[in-house]
């Protein structure tokens, strides 16, 4: 009977890959959008959109109102809309624009050719699903012929006055919240046209 002498060799390896837990992130991204209906002689002749540029002045005010214990910053219950002219200088909104430089060093000027005696009020409802908006459109009744570049939103003690650019100070400063141009380009308007504006801010 033959012998069976076998050498059995085996080898094994094990590896465990451990990954660090994925960090969660909940970033606050503020955004906004204007929707504008253009009416002429009782008929809607266009719908325009304009995503807003939120300026640094507005971000600072937001953080001061929410978190700054050194001063009591008023919450403005009413904000006001204005129109941006398409005239020289060629409008170029920037994050460094401020209320105090409206019709000043901001590279855009206001369009004041409308019937309303003040900047129309933007009156929002309650925020829901991280969106706040106005239920009824804000109406500009145009009283001149020209081209409108876009819109801006302001708040503060003097903000209702058409053409105002008073800076104010501390808790009672006037604030430029945002400024923007129409996504489709400047809009030609004429006397008695109406621009009906809805603004929604979201996160």
Q: Rounded distance, CA 200 to CA 88, Å? A: 29
**pLDDT at residue 127 above 60?**
yes
Q: Which has more pLDDT, 76 or 39?
A: 39
Q: Which tens digits make up the pLDDT trace of 14-25?
A: 556 666 655 555
Indicate the pTM of the whole model: 0.85
Q: What is the number of other CB atoms lying within 10 angstroms of the CB of residue 57? A: 22
Q: Which has more pLDDT, 88 or 196?
A: 196
> So what's the pLDDT on residue 90?
85
In angstroms, the Cα distances linking 44 to 37, 144, 160 are 7, 18, 27
> So what's the pLDDT on residue 64?
87
Instruction: Compute the average pLDDT of residues 106-123.
Output: 96
**CA nearest to 36, candidates 72, 76, 83:** 83
Q: Which has more pLDDT, 170 or 17?
A: 170
Q: Rounded distance, CA 182 to CA 134, Å? A: 19
**pLDDT at residue 8 above 60?**
no
Q: Rounded distance, CA 58 to CA 95, Å? A: 9
> So what's the pLDDT on residue 9?
46
Confidence class of residue 30 from pLDDT cuts 50, 70 and 90?
A: confident
Whole-number average pLDDT of the chain? 88
> So what's the pLDDT on residue 7?
44
Q: Rounded distance, CA 142 to CA 113, Å? A: 6
């Amino acid at each position: 009977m033959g012998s069976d002498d076998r050498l059995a060799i085996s080898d094994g390896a094990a590896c465990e890959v451990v990954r660090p837990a994925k960090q969660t992130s909940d970033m606050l991204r503020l955004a906004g959008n204007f929707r504008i209906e253009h009416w002429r002689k009782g008929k809607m002749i266009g719908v325009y959109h304009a995503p807003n540029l939120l300026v640094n002045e507005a971000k600072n005010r937001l953080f001061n109102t929410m978190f700054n214990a050194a001063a009591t910053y008023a919450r403005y219950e009413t904000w006001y809309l204005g129109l941006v002219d398409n005239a020289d200088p060629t409008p170029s909104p920037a994050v460094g624009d401020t209320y105090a430089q409206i019709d000043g060093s901001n590279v855009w000027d206001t369009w004041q050719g409308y019937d309303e005696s003040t900047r129309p009020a933007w009156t929002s409802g309650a925020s829901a699903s991280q969106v706040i908006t106005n239920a009824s459109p804000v109406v500009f009744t145009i009283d001149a012929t020209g081209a409108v570049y876009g819109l801006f939103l302001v708040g503060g003690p003097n903000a209702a006055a058409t053409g105002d650019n008073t800076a104010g100070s501390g808790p009672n400063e006037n604030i430029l919240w945002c400024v923007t141009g129409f996504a489709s380009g400047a809009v030609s308007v004429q006397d008695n046209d109406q621009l009906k504006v809805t603004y929604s801010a979201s996160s």
